[in-house]
Structure 1
């Protein structure tokens, strides 16, 4: 059996599919994976013996500017990415039995699977990406925010926007492949039986008529790497610090200064993860340390709280570690959703980014550092599952057979 996995995005989009690929290889399944061409992703796949098929432009290059790409740039990029997928995916799917597409950018995947005659599964990492009257659609960068607040209406408008962006280009490629046109691009991509790769406690799905969601649990991979020696020495030198990191996203330029000030005001030390925004320290005092990419699964068990952007991966790792969270959500994809889940579970606080006020930061840190919050976070950690990738791999084999 051979599986083609496909995604496009930052590490938060790629890493869950790596976890699924590793589990599939462990049960004897061959795996090929379409991902962005960034060197860090190529090295990650090669480290697990996963055959790569690069698609599209470098994600890091796309997000390199401090202001981010404009709405016009994003529109052109999205159209170009569909063309790139139709160029690469058919050859990548050769000899495969099923194509698993994850993320909002997989417009071509189902059509390619249909054209080459293999099965297709769509997977989402967050419930908020699937249509439901219980929540609004996720914010899509570059698209105008809607003024209405009625969830069903918002989902209708979202479907129209997806059609306006992708309808003509998708159906043009389908015609070239001898396939009939589709109406309703978003729901065509999602199917009526999408998989939800999210923890059922942290990010549950509420049933919706007409959508048969298969929730497997989050797709995570155990990280056994030791922490760097300088980080271990810093952790051993005092009380547990507060971790601050934004992954691939960019907070306001002054965020690190405000966060470190608020952390110090609460009597805590700080760990600042540089990330793609290259966050740094504000002075040379020894109560703060800047770090690169490390084993978060191990590190988060050693900190007092985790301050982050609300990515699905960081949220589940922090939850499993049993540590309180402060989510500074930017209006991007599922980050506001995960902030709302942290707040709803009462294991921390959520703020709208990218530049919360000093008063808001202080209140959020106060909430996260309360003993009761820590107790609730520990209790939640004991309920977070770690078998999502295994469940998905076994289901996928059964699905193909």
Structure 2
């Protein structure tokens, strides 16, 4: 069986697909991944020997659109940046599974080469937005213009076109349950986690060993963070008498001084690291939220964008495993207050309990389901 996975987004959109690719290959499937050509994504795929079919434009090259008109134009640009690559890679494959901004092209590519298509999300909140008219107004014109250019009929319901009528949900059911009252037929699989066996850098280990567990602060692939967020975070953590571990991330955050209570790191193994920190302050990506929850470490979520980040902040607060900061630009006082909640004994005990309920086998479940579904589709066609 030949499987094409396609994702156009940040690391949080790429790494779960790599996790699925590894499990598919373990079941005997031939897998390749269409993804942005950013260096860290190329390294991620090379590290597990999964072929990368790169898009022409790196994910880091995109800027966030400011208006609805710019969002509509961005869709046309996303389509142009992906379609030819996905359609060519899909030739000869048995199924295409897509996520993130690949939803603008995946269904059309699958139709052109006549193979099944599945779409996966990593948080359910986007599927509960039932404003079909808004979806159509924003995204319908560029999608249908492109479909006309490749001799495909227009679509009337853009939301259904992008997410399909049977989307997959790759999220832990404790952290992110699917609301049973929703109108879609969703396939929950559990979170897709790529095991990380990399050792922590020696300098980081030395810092961890030199004192009490620090508070980790990192905003992952977010580039448009407030200019003073590193300064504010360090001050808030120091105000509570804690050490600071600052992740540079795509915003290239840096310490404000040379104090030995603050250490800066690049991209590291969070699965190994989070068990050694006392709290995690982050933007609310699905991957970071899940990794922190699995480690049983309290969280403070400071959402930096829309989409799923406010959703994950709300879930962390509702579950009692951390605190949700109100807004993307904390002050020293507001972040310190959120950290006090996260560092309380009650929150820590709750985080420890929840950690024991989170499964790590979602990618294995999904790989088996995908192979079974494609095999069933093929048998029906043959019959």
* 1:83-120, Cα deviation, whole Å (9 max, x unpaired): 33322221110110000011254211112112211001
1:223 aligns with one of 184, 191, 196: 196
Q: 1:317 to 1:246 in 2, by over 3 A?
A: same
- CA–CA distance in structure 2, aligned partners of residues 206 and 74 of structure 1: 28
Native 8 Å contact 1:242 1:306 kept in 2: yes
Q: TM-score, normalised by structure 1?
A: 0.89
- SS of 2:4's partner is strand
1:301 is matched with which residue?
275
Cα drift, residue 293 of structure 1: 0.6
1:351-362 → structure 2 map (5 Å cutoff): 351-362=325-336
1:140-151 → structure 2 map (5 Å cutoff): none
- Counterpart check, 1:189 vs 2:162: yes
- SS of 1:352's partner is coil
- CA–CA distance in structure 1, aligned partners of residues 181 and 107 of structure 2: 22
- CA–CA distance in structure 1, aligned partners of residues 134 and 83 of structure 2: 21
Native 8 Å contact 2:94 2:116 kept in 1: yes
- SS of 1:187's partner is helix
2:340 is matched with which residue?
366
1:272-351 → structure 2 map (5 Å cutoff): 272-351=246-325
2:187 aligns with one of 210, 214, 227: 214
Native 8 Å contact 1:251 1:353 kept in 2: no
Root-mean-square deviation (CA, aligned residues, Å) is 1.6
- CA–CA distance in structure 2, aligned partners of residues 169 and 284 of structure 1: 50
Native 8 Å contact 2:119 2:167 kept in 1: yes
Q: 1:104 to 1:205 in 2, by over 3 A?
A: farther
* 1:298-343, Cα deviation, whole Å (9 max, x unpaired): 1000000000000000000000000000000123221000000000
Structure 1 residues not aligned, in runs of 5+ = 132-136, 138-154
2:11 is matched with which residue?
11
Structure 2 residues not aligned, in runs of 5+ = 376-383
Cα drift, residue 177 of structure 1: 3.5
- CA–CA distance in structure 1, aligned partners of residues 58 and 101 of structure 2: 17
- CA–CA distance in structure 1, aligned partners of residues 326 and 60 of structure 2: 24
Native 8 Å contact 2:172 2:359 kept in 1: yes
- SS of 2:103's partner is coil
